Amino acid sequence: MRIGLVAGEASGDLLGAGLIRAIRERVPESTFEGVAGPAMVEAGCEAWADAEELAVMGLIEPLAHIPRLLKLRRSLGARWRADPPDVFVGIDAPDFNFGLEKKLRKAGIRTAHYVSPSVWAWRSGRIKTVREAADRVLCILPFEKTLYDEEGIDAVFVGHPKATSLPTDIDVGSVREFLDLGTDQVVAILPGSRMSEVSRLGPVFAAAAAILLERRPELRFVTPVATPALRPVIEAQLESAGIAAKFRLIDGDSIEAMSAADVVLLASGTAALESALLGKPTVAGYAISRLGAAIVSMIGGIKTPHVTIPNLLTEEPLIPEFIQNDMTPEALAGAVWELLEDPERRAEIGRRFATLRESLALGADDRAAEAVIDLAT
């Protein structure tokens, strides 16, 4: 069995690697090719291009990359139409993959899309694109399958890979000792993984930390630095706020940073679900540019009552979220402070997040592999 794959950036690379390994366990002679990152290559995928080539985010930033991405997509489409794989799997990167999937499907190639775009939150019209592009959608959130079922689109809920892979028994004391954070309360602060996010959110998060330190000077903070280019930016923000001495910056390991924390303050996104799956009381904030916000409003705005994914998966929202103008240092600090001061609330949140994790830990790699093999045969 021969499988074509296109994964977008690091998160898609990890999903693809898990999928490849699970398929190989069932069909050992399978081969894999396409756009892959290092994890997929290690798992056995022949890389025609690097997954990081698709790592362009936001509403405005991708415009400069359009010519390059269109050229890559045309090249991939021509290559696979000339020599069709048994099935093609587009992993995330919907703006890139849907166009490719449409062309391949019209050529008679079976297509699967792994990770539903957030049609339930905004740009709901994209569900028509999904219908045209994918023979099957592999969903990682339970309510997504319900949505596709209602639209008559073949969808399989595979569970969330992170719910299976993240550590369950965390020795907080050992992590703090390793990070030299002492024994006082710790707040993990994650202002994002991209320069645009850190530039916009970082100063607000640093100001919130300064307010918390006025209330409790013995607090310690830990921040994972997603890429080397972000370190001087974050360091400058902390120096400007006069709180650099209270921060421990670590390279990349957001899971380690969150594991050490009593409370996590983060940019709403993938990290929010990771924090919830680790059982951590969490506060989320996010803001985009005025132009970006205007564009979102023009295309219908956000359709869900919450933007932080765990809040869409629990009966009541457990993560205070502050978006756009509501994201102020005072609001963020106040929400974090309430959690620091309420150990019973923190424990209750941890218990509810443990239940959430159980509902998502279904063995996503295995389920996704079975769904793809079934489509290909």
Q: Are residues 238 and 333 in the same domain?
A: yes
pTM for the model: 0.85
Q: Are residues 354 and 372 in the same domain?
A: no
Please, which contacts does 70-74 make with residues 24 or more away whose CB atoms are closer than 8 Å? Answer: 72/35, 73/99, 73/100
pLDDT at 118: 77
Residue 353's Cβ-count burial label (10 Å; 0-12, 13-18, 19+) is buried
pLDDT at 58: 45
Q: Is residue 165 part of a domain?
A: no
Q: Going along 153-311, which residue ranges are E strands?
A: 155-157, 186-190, 220-225, 247-251, 263-267, 282-286
Q: Is residue 271 part of a domain?
A: yes
The two tokens of residue 363 are 């063995």
Q: Are residues 99 and 201 in the same domain?
A: no
Q: Is residue 81 part of a domain?
A: yes
pLDDT at 8: 84
Number of structural domains found in the chain = 2
The two tokens of residue 73 are 């997509």
Q: Is residue 284 part of a domain?
A: yes
Q: Is residue 86 part of a domain?
A: yes
Residue 132 belongs to domain with CATH number: 3.40.50.2000
Q: Are residues 192 and 102 in the same domain?
A: no
Q: Is residue 340 part of a domain?
A: yes
Q: Are residues 242 and 155 in the same domain?
A: no
Q: Which residue has the tokens 């974050």?
A: 234
What's the domain range around 340? 172-360
Rounded CA gap, 117 and 141, in Å?
11
Q: Are residues 191 and 290 in the same domain?
A: yes
Q: What share of the chain is helix, strand, coil (3-state, %, to 5)?
A: 55, 15, 30
Q: Are residues 323 and 196 in the same domain?
A: yes
Q: Is residue 164 part of a domain?
A: no
User: Residue 43: what residue type?
Assistant: A
pLDDT at 64: 60
Q: Are residues 249 and 195 in the same domain?
A: yes
pLDDT at 55: 66
Q: Are residues 131 and 278 in the same domain?
A: no
Rounded CA gap, 144 and 251, in Å?
34
Q: Is residue 167 part of a domain?
A: no
pLDDT at 57: 47
Q: Are residues 155 and 270 in the same domain?
A: no
Q: Are residues 241 and 222 in the same domain?
A: yes
pLDDT averaged over 10-residue windows placed end to end, the chain, 377 residues: 92 94 97 96 96 63 71 96 98 92 97 86 73 96 91 96 90 93 94 89 97 97 93 97 96 92 93 96 86 52 72 94 94 98 97 96 97 95
Q: Are residues 154 and 178 in the same domain?
A: no
